[in-house]
């Protein structure tokens, strides 16, 4: 089979750290072009300032991976679908829920594949955790996601603006795992969002969720953690604890601990290849819906100003 | 056929102003009981402080209409569905999107009917407007929803708390009409929410939406309007203007103006009877999704404190 010719749109940190190596390591894909309104491209790969310019140049592409900030993703995705291109959306799939729902309709009409990716779901421990939890009684869930924003998002102003998610940018990764591994859907009960005095998006959040059975699910999100970082989900069950650590790559079950190297983005691209070959879409908005609920229902408190 | 025996849960303003007359006027229903944690019930109708107490008393009911504030609606709805009762949800159907999605799953499992009602969709002009717009090119939409909160929500503290919607409580009515009459789904582009310095929910909001065709849709929501009230939707099309006024009861098309008396709640109960007889549910979260998007993405500004 011919490789899928993919263009990366938005050549920032996530594209360079993750997408380029994953594409280079997967023979199902060939990097056909890059698009970025600012800055240079890569050696030996055609580079354009916009998707318009790429299409006008007649470069042969089958798919685009959208690594731009979420605020501009919808317009580019519609343009790509209209040109018959398959679309890989970085997370979150949009700045709003309604635009993702509208985009699904556009994809269905175009016949192209739309993939709303959640990279953390491809961490090594996630599917084994899901299998372990499928038949258990869940007694309690504790999600702790604490990291240093200065390390992970240095100088990324968009993440603090209205429409950026603030600390929910990493927090949605935890929610993408929790919605995958827990056997029942869950929903928000209470949220307190902590907003720096000089920013429009939260730097921390404390939440409680529940499922229909009343299972307590607590979530502690914080972007102010220096030193060791914490990306943990602890699920207490009638058959013992299921503990995902390091973002899902380390899984401890009553039978022992398994650790595997990161393979999230290779997993995403393998999934995207399958979807494109089978002309299917995969769009799950549950993680973004939970975040929207926290913004809709949460209380807000003002905390110390944050300077990058 | 036997009438559907319905209990009203939450005996506040909307229950007394709208639900009781609509039930009394529809032979498909019989009012079987009322439930309210505070205050007295009606003469000659069994009254209970909770749904638990009603069920424990063995009163024969087939359905409940939940007229409580949205923050407590989910728990009562789950309890009702578990007891095999059909559930009519006042708008909005919940305090969060995810709980409504979870509730749909509970209803499907129970076999009972779940009806997420949007009363404004039953205003007289809505279905004719939808029919007129179905095949038109839409050039511009202007939604103006300005009313006096002191008249419509006197002393209702819950509406200003986190989880209450503030001015989106009436605004969601406009969105329930717009999502019904416009032929394409639309989504938020920008929102500015105005929050009184002493309140957790907005008193006004200015928004722009768009559909995939780029149609501009502007919305102006304000709770500070005294004097004449404004609940208007103007849709400019290639075949002339479609103008819904007075919340949807007055429709002006290029062919003339039609005005009808309010029949929203009678329309809702007729719909609920059909759904119960046919054992179907009707749950459309699109209006609440648009509101959640405004909270998720909107900028916030602080305005003058509001005293009731």
Burial of residue B216 (number of CB atoms within 10 Å: 0-12, 13-18, 19+): middle
What are the chain B neighbours of A95 within 8 Å (beta carbons)? 296-297
CA distance A102 to B286: 11
Question: Which of B178, B184, B71 minimizes the C-alpha distance to B120?
Answer: B178
DSSP A272-308: HHHHHHTT--B---HHHHHHHHHHHH-EEEEE-----
Strand partners, B47: B34
Domain with CATH 3.30.360.10 in chain A: 124-259+292-303
Question: Which of A150, A159, A80 minimizes the C-alpha distance to A115?
Answer: A80
Mean pLDDT value across residues A233-245? 97
Catalytic sites of A, residue numbers: 91
pLDDT at A261: 81
Nearest-CA distance A215 → chain B (Å): 13
Strand partners, B141: B217, B235
CA distance A127 to A119: 13
Q: Measured between alpha carbons, how far apart are the two ends of chain A, in Å?
A: 47
Write down the CATH number for the domain with range B4-116.
Answer: 3.40.50.720
- Average pLDDT score over chain A: 95
Whether A187 sits inside 8 A of B297 (CB atoms) is: no
pLDDT at A162: 79
SS3 B301: strand
Read off the tokens for B45. 């109708």
Catalytic sites of B, residue numbers: 91
Neighbours of B139 (CB within 10 A): 12
Model confidence pLDDT, tens digit, residues A258-304: 888 888 999 999 999 999 999 999 999 999 999 999 999 999 999 99
Burial of residue A299 (number of CB atoms within 10 Å: 0-12, 13-18, 19+): middle
Q: Which residue of B has its CA nearest to A75?
A: B212
Angle at A65 between CA A59 and CA A66, to 5 degrees: 110
pLDDT at A140: 98
pLDDT at B285: 97
Model confidence pLDDT, tens digit, residues A80-122: 999 999 999 999 999 899 999 999 999 999 999 999 999 999 9
What are the chain B neighbours of A290 within 8 Å (beta carbons)? 98
Q: Which residue of B has its CA nearest to A285?
A: B98
CA distance A94 to A245: 27
Model confidence pLDDT, tens digit, residues A28-69: 999 999 999 988 899 999 999 999 999 999 999 999 999 998
pLDDT at A212 over 90: no
pLDDT at A10 over 90: yes
Ranges of H-type helices in A156-263: 168-181
Closest partner residue to B96 among A97, A163, A297, by Cβ? A297
Closest partner residue to B295 among A78, A286, A296, by Cβ? A296
User: At a CB cut-off of 8 Å and minimum separation 6, what does A151 contact?
Assistant: A229
pLDDT at A159 over 90: no
Whether B99 sits inside 8 A of A187 (CB atoms) is: yes
Q: Which residue of B has its CA nearest to A76?
A: B212
Strand partners, A191: A207
Whether B74 sits inside 8 A of A98 (CB atoms) is: no
Least reliable range by pLDDT among A150-154, A207-211, A245-249: A150-154
Whether B185 sits inside 8 A of A101 (CB atoms) is: yes
Put residue B127 in one of left, alpha, beta given phi > 0 → left and psi -120 to 50 → alpha. Answer: alpha
Nearest-CA distance B125 → chain A (Å): 25
pLDDT at A154: 87
pLDDT at A38: 86
Q: How confident is the model at residue A156 (pLDDT cuts 50, 70, 90)?
A: confident
Using a pLDDT cut of 90, give the percent of chain A over it. Answer: 87
Relative orientation angle of helices A168-181 and A286-297, to the nearest 10 degrees = 120
Whether B102 sits inside 8 A of A186 (CB atoms) is: yes
* Ordered per-residue pLDDT tens for chain B, 308 residues: 799 999 999 998 899 999 999 999 999 999 999 999 988 899 999 999 999 999 999 999 999 999 998 878 999 999 999 999 999 999 999 989 999 999 999 999 999 999 999 999 999 999 999 999 999 999 999 999 999 999 988 888 878 887 778 999 999 999 999 999 999 999 999 999 999 999 999 999 999 999 988 999 999 999 999 999 999 999 999 999 999 999 999 999 999 988 888 889 999 999 999 999 999 999 999 999 999 999 999 999 999 999 98
Q: How confident is the model at residue A218 (pLDDT cuts 50, 70, 90)?
A: very high
Whether B97 sits inside 8 A of A99 (CB atoms) is: no
pTM for the predicted model, two decimal places:
0.94
Whether B286 sits inside 8 A of A98 (CB atoms) is: yes
Distances (CA, A) of B30 to B26, B58, B68, B182: 8, 17, 20, 36
SS3 A24: helix
pLDDT at B1: 77
Closest partner residue to A298 among B162, B185, B212, by Cβ? B162
CB A244 within 8 Å of CB A232: yes
ipTM score assigned to the predicted complex: 0.92
Nearest-CA distance A26 → chain B (Å): 33
CA distance A81 to A126: 31
CB B196 within 8 Å of CB B250: no
Distances (CA, A) of A52 to A20, A55, A71, A80, A83: 22, 5, 18, 9, 10
Nearest-CA distance A162 → chain B (Å): 5
Write down the CATH number for the domain with range B124-259+292-303.
Answer: 3.30.360.10
Domain with CATH 3.40.50.720 in chain A: 4-116
Chains A, B: CB pairs < 8 Å = 103
Q: How confident is the model at residue A187 (pLDDT cuts 50, 70, 90)?
A: very high
pLDDT at B106: 92
DSSP B211-246: ETT--EEEEEEESB--SS-EEEEEEEETTEEEEEEG
Closest partner residue to B299 among A162, A185, A212, by Cβ? A162
């Amino acid at each position: 089979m011919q490789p899928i010719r993919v263009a990366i749109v938005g050549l920032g940190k996530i594209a360079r750290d993750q997408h380029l190596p994953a594409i280079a390591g997967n023979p199902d894909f060939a990097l056909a072009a890059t698009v970025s309104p600012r800055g240079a491209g890569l050696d030996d790969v055609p580079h354009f300032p916009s998707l318009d310019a790429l299409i006008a140049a007649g470069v042969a592409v089958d798919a685009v991976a959208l690594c731009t900030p979420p605020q501009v993703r919808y317009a580019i995705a519609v343009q790509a679908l209209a040109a018959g291109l398959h679309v890989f959306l970085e997370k979150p799939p949009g700045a709003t829920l309604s635009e993702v729902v509208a985009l699904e309709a556009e994809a269905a009409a175009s016949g192209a594949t739309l993939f709303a990716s959640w990279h953390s779901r491809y961490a090594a421990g996630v599917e084994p955790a899901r299998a372990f939890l499928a038949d258990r009684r869940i007694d309690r869930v504790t999600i702790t996601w604490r990291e240093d924003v200065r390390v992970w998002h240095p100088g990324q102003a968009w993440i603090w603006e209205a429409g950026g998610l603030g600390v929910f940018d990493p927090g949605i990764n935890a929610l993408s795992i929790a919605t995958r591994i827990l056997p029942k859907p869950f929903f928000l009960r209470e949220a307190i969002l902590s907003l720096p005095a000089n920013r429009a998006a939260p730097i921390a959040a404390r939440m409680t969720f529940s499922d229909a059975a009343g299972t307590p699910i607590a979530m502690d999100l914080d972007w102010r953690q220096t030193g060791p970082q914490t990306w943990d989900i602890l699920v207490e069950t009638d058959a013992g604890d299921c503990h995902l650590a390091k973002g899902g790559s380390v899984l401890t079950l009553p039978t022992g601990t398994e650790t595997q190297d990161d393979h999230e983005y290779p997993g995403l691209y393998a999934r995207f290849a399958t979807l494109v070959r089978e002309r299917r879409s995969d769009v799950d908005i549950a993680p973004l819906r939970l975040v929207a609920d926290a913004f809709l229902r949460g209380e807000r408190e003002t905390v110390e100003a944050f300077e990058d």
